[in-house]
Amino acid sequence: MNHGISILFRAIPLAMAAFCFAYGAYIFSAGTDTARLTAGPVVFYLGAICVALYCTAATIIRQIIGTYTAAAKYLFPAIGYTFALLTLVSGAFILSSQWTGALVTGHVVCGLGLITACVATAATSSTRFSLIPKNSADDTFSVNTAGFTRAQSSLLIFIVSAVAAVAWVWCILLYVFGTLPAHIVAGSVMFGIACVCTSLIALVASIARQARGSYTMAEKRKWMGLVLTMGSLAFVLGLILIALRGETINFVGFVLIGLALICWSISSKVILLAKIWHADFPLANRIPIIPVLTALTCLFLAAFLYEEALFHAKFFVPARVLAGFGAICFTLYSIVSILESGAGKKA
C-alpha cells in the first residue's frame, strides 16, 4: 500500500463521519416534527461509528506503512471509546428529555453507542495487526510471544461480548416490559443493533486470536457462521415487520434490513481473515465488493423510501437512516480493503 492509497482509505471513514454529522444536524434543525427529531440524532450519531472505524483504519494502515507510534497505539482506541461514551451519554440525555419521540430516539442512540464501543474494541485488537501476516506464514501454528497474552485476548473478546449481551438484554426488556408501540419500535431496532454487536465479536476474536497466533483452522467456519447468522436474523425480522401491512410500526422493518446489511458488511472482514489464514486465497481482492454492494443496497432502498415518504410519513425516518447506514457500509469497504492489503501471508 503506497502513501496516497493509505490517505484515501483513511479519508473515507472521516468523509462518511462528516456526512453523518452534517446530514443528521441538518435533518434535526430543519423542523420540530417527531420524524425529524428521531431521524436527525440517529443519523448524527452514526457518525460516531464512522469515527471509531477511522480509528481502526488508522491503526492498521500506520502499521502497514511503518508510521505506527507508541502514542498512536493508545490514542486511536481512546478516541473510539470516547465517542462511544459521548454517544451513550447523549442517548441517556435524550431519554430524560421531554421532546416528542424521545423514547425511541434515546434508546436507538444508546444502541449506536454500544456499536461504537464494539468498533473501538476492534481498533484495540488491531494494535498488533502487523503480526497477523507473520503468524499466518508460520506452519508450526505456534503462539507468537509478541502478540497478545491469553488474558489480553480473552479480555478483548469479553468486552465486546459483554456489550453485545447488554444490547440483547436491552432488547428483551423493551419487548417484555414495553406497553407502547414506541417500545416495540425501539426493541426491534435494538434487536438489529444487538446483531451488529454480536457480529463484531467475530471480528474482534478473529483479529485478536490471529495476532496472538492461537486462531485455529476450526474457528474459520465458526466465526463466519456467527456473523452471517446475525445478519440473517436481522433480515428475517425486518421482512416479518414489513409484511405487517397497514401497521403503523412496519416501517421499522427497513431499518432492520439496513442493520442486516451492516452485519453482512462486517462478514466481509471476518471471511477475508478466515480465508487467508495459513492459505492462499486468489479471490481475496474480490471480497471488498461485499460492502460496496451493501452500501449501494442501502442507498437504493433509501431512494425508494424517500418517494414512499411523500405518501406515508412513517417512511421518513427509515429513508434518512438508511442513507446513514450506506455511509457505514462504505466505511467498512475501506476497512476490508485495508485488511486485504495488509493481512496477506508473508514469509
Average pLDDT over the chain reads 93
Query: Mean pLDDT across the stretch 221-250?
Result: 91
Nearest Cα neighbor of 48 from 14, 6, 73, 25 is 14
Query: Mean pLDDT across the stretch 181-194?
Result: 95
Query: Mean pLDDT across the stretch 246-252?
Result: 83
The predicted structure's pLDDT at residue 343 = 66
Residue scoring higher pLDDT (341 or 84): 84
Nearest Cα neighbor of 100 from 39, 33, 50, 184 is 33
The predicted structure's pLDDT at residue 155 = 97
The predicted structure's pLDDT at residue 340 = 81
**CA-to-CA dists, residue 202 to 119, 196, 209, 223, 303, angstroms:** 12, 10, 10, 5, 32
Query: Mean pLDDT across the stretch 177-191?
Result: 92
CA 233, CA 342: separation in Å to the nearest integer? 31
Q: Other C-beta atoms within 10 Å of 98: how many?
A: 5
Give 142's DSSP letter.
P
Query: Mean pLDDT across the stretch 50-79?
Result: 94
Output Rg (C-alpha) for the chain, integer angstroms. 20
pLDDT in tens, 332-347: 999 998 888 776 654 4
Query: Mean pLDDT across the stretch 216-233?
Result: 94
Nearest Cα neighbor of 55 from 4, 131, 117, 3 is 117
Query: Mean pLDDT across the stretch 43-63?
Result: 96
Residue scoring higher pLDDT (216 or 347): 216
CA 214, CA 189: separation in Å to the nearest integer? 35
The predicted structure's pLDDT at residue 347 = 40
User: What is the b/e burial string over 123-146, where b = at least 16 CB atoms within 10 angstroms of the residue's CB?
Assistant: bbbbbbbbbbbbbbeeeeeebbee
pLDDT in tens, 112-136: 999 999 999 999 999 999 999 999 8
Query: Mean pLDDT across the stretch 66-79?
Result: 94
pLDDT surpassing 90 at residue 79: yes
Query: Mean pLDDT across the stretch 275-302?
Result: 90
Query: Mean pLDDT across the stretch 185-213?
Result: 96
CA 165, CA 159: separation in Å to the nearest integer? 10
Query: Mean pLDDT across the stretch 76-102?
Result: 94
The predicted structure's pLDDT at residue 94 = 95
Total count of residues recorded for the chain: 347
CA 121, CA 111: separation in Å to the nearest integer? 16
CB 91, CB 114: distance < 8 Å? no
pLDDT band at 314 (very low <50, low <70, confident <90, very high): very high
Residue scoring higher pLDDT (88 or 245): 88
The predicted structure's pLDDT at residue 282 = 75
Give me 192's grid cell.
Answer: 438489529
The predicted structure's pLDDT at residue 246 = 66
The predicted structure's pLDDT at residue 344 = 60
The percent of residues in the chain predicted with pLDDT above 90, rounded, is 78
Residue scoring higher pLDDT (139 or 44): 44
Give 290's DSSP letter.
H
CA 110, CA 91: separation in Å to the nearest integer? 5
pLDDT surpassing 90 at residue 293: yes
Instruction: Give the predicted TM-score (pTM) of the model.
Output: 0.95
pLDDT in tens, 131-182: 999 998 888 888 998 999 999 999 999 999 999 999 999 999 999 988 889 9
> For 223-228, which contacts have Cβ atoms below 8 Å and span 24 or more sequence positions?
223/270, 223/274, 224/267, 224/270, 224/271, 224/274, 226/198, 226/199, 226/201, 226/202, 227/198, 227/199, 227/202, 227/203, 227/263, 227/264, 227/266, 227/267, 227/270, 228/263, 228/264, 228/267
CB 115, CB 197: distance < 8 Å? yes
